[in-house]
Amino acid sequence: MTKAIRIDQGLQRGEPFSFDVDGESVPAFGGETVAAALMAEGRRALRVTAGRKEGRGYYCGMGVCWDCMMWLEGEGSVQTCRLLAAPGMRLRSMKGAGPSEASPDGEKAEIHPDESLG
């Protein structure tokens, strides 16, 4: 991952907590979306496209494009730009666009989170 980028002055944050992405702990604050927490930690690519194997991540920020899709344990595919982060939630990177392409059995998708987005 690239260097974490967080604004530390001039705002009030919710309570700190962490959630899990591909087996790694990600810090977050109450009121943040999953996408915001991942971007703040320097993670840019959240899934890999099925055809060209390109990284995709936060793009439109309003739930139209689905480029920020990840697999949420117990729910399925979710848009991380619209999903509020919660303590203990577990997400996985996806390969492609459907449940069958989610990383099986917690195996990490072949993804480089800080790669250039196609």
| Torsion sign across C-alpha atoms 92, 93, 97, 101 | negative
Read off the pTM.
0.75
pLDDT in tens, 39-70: 998 888 888 888 888 777 777 777 777 788 88
Residue type (1 letter), 90 = R
Q: Give all domains of the chain, ordered by start, each with its CATH number.
A: 16-96 (3.10.20.440)
pLDDT in tens, 64-108: 777 888 899 999 889 999 999 999 999 998 877 654 555 444 444
Q: How many CB atoms lie within 10 A of CB 91?
A: 23
Torsion angles phi and psi, residue 37, rounded to 5: -65, -40
pLDDT for the residue numbered 18: 97
